[in-house]
Amino acid sequence: MSASKSTKKLESKLKALQCHFTWGLDPGRPKLLRLTDKLEDIGTEEGNPWLSHIYNLQGFIQFKLESNEDAKSFFNKAADVLRHADEGPGSMVNYGNLAWLHHHLGDEAESQAYLSKVDALKKKHPPPSQSELHPEIYAEKAWTLMKFNAPKKEQAAEYFEKAIRMQPDMVEWNTSYVLGLASSQKHSTAGGEADLLRKMRAAKEQDPENLYLAAVYLMQLAKRGEKIESEARELGDQILRNPVSSYSGLKPLIRVLSNYVSVDEAIDLAEKALRAHPEERYLKRCAALCYKWKILFNRKTRPRPGMTERAISLHREVVSLYPNSSFLKKIDLANMYANSGAGMDKAEQIFQKLLRRDLEPAEKQVLYNQFAKYLFHTKKDRQGSIQFHKRGAEIPEKSFFRNDSIRALERVKDTTTWNRRSKEIEEFLEKLQK
């Protein structure tokens, strides 16, 4: 066989694999960097049922970031986890990733060796049918897609449903499926809360030790007007006894406390966790979020003495501790400075520096929306605020921030004080709908 035919045959086999390289995962660099930080915050405690999935995704991200040695290291870590758990159908994803990586490195012999391992596993563990994948592959594909955007989360739900139907005793699959549904419904107005609550209650009965699920379940109960204060406080004590991880349940619980109990209690819980683990960046991030909610969104009560200074200090630390995903955190810091009154110059410097950056469309929408609000509320520059809301709304990408800018423009249009601008804004908004 000629070299070109051999290469084409190899590439054909690679494209037929089920792995991260064939799942249509092609996010931009900013998204990849944000995912890097998110995956690091999950942690790699022994016993984590998603450990091989975490390493596989980290490996793929490092490949996309052109760090092939790091990619190989993560893929090998995933292989080690899978070997200790007895190689089964789930190893096909890992071997597929390694086959693709070695192909890109130009090592066709090693790539072929991993393809042979996939073939051997297929013979040992044939798929349920020609049209279906192994449930382990559906589950990893679902877990991976959950980390991406909304359409991917819808696909993830479908894959989890298939995996659970084929292997209903896998508790962690059902828990992740239900959490994915809750995340997708967070900003939805389509209803379905009763069905979600029923599924969450059933998942909680199956997985009573999952404190993240317990926190999200409390959020659903609180939304229905149920009293959850005592349960939330008890859950907080349980979370503090567990290892630090973004899967611990702390972040959804502080959101529950902030929205339905007291933002001060949320701050106290986050600070208590931070005192127990003062070097954990994830806990600093959680505490910074609580202060943000208190200072920027809770205008009914004034911050306690020293609270604004503490908030700014934490936000500055968080920016430095999350170099891969500092964009939104820098905006939070700028808003914190602006709110303090004494940090106007620093807020302006941060915003102007971000405005000079080469950003993706979705990032521009966020920045223009937040800068417009800063101009309106802090600098009292209504003309400039209108212009930046328009710049954000012009970007044709569906997002919360684009919709928020459009709503802001509609409010200006309907304000009689600004009647001379109403016609211009009305025409602008009409063009957006075409």
> What distance in Å separates the CA atoms of residue 346 and residue 352, rounded to the nearest whole number?
10
Please, which residues have CB within 8 angstroms of residue 421's CB and are 6 or more apart in sequence? 386, 412, 413
Rounded to the nearest 5°, which phi and psi values hold at 76?
-70, -35
Output the pLDDT for position 2. 55
Output the pLDDT for position 418. 55
**pLDDT tens-digit series, residues 371-386:** 999 999 999 999 999 9
Q: What tokens appear for 35 in the block?
A: 């995912």
Residue type, 231: E
What average pLDDT does the structure give for the chain?
92
Q: Does position 169 have pLDDT exceeding 80, yes or no?
A: yes
Q: Average pLDDT, stretch 142-154? A: 88
Q: Is 331 exposed, middle or buried (0-12, 13-18, 19+ CB in 10 A)?
A: buried
CA-to-CA dists, residue 114 to 75, 92, 99, 106, angstroms? 12, 9, 5, 14
Output the pLDDT for position 299. 64
Please, which residues have CB within 8 angstroms of residue 41's CB and are 6 or more apart in sequence? 245, 246, 281, 282, 285
Q: Average pLDDT, stretch 67-93? A: 93
What's the predicted TM-score (pTM) here? 0.91
Q: Does position 340 have pLDDT exceeding 90, yes or no?
A: no
Band (pLDDT 50/70/90 cuts) for residue 275 is very high
Question: At CA 174, angle to CA 170 and CA 175, rounded to 5?
Answer: 115
**pLDDT tens-digit series, residues 97-140:** 999 999 999 999 999 999 999 999 999 999 888 889 999 999 99
**pLDDT tens-digit series, residues 180-218:** 999 887 655 455 788 999 999 999 999 999 999 999 999
Q: Which of 150-164, 260-274, 315-329 has the lowest mean pLDDT?
A: 150-164
Percentage of the chain lying above the pLDDT 90 cut: 76
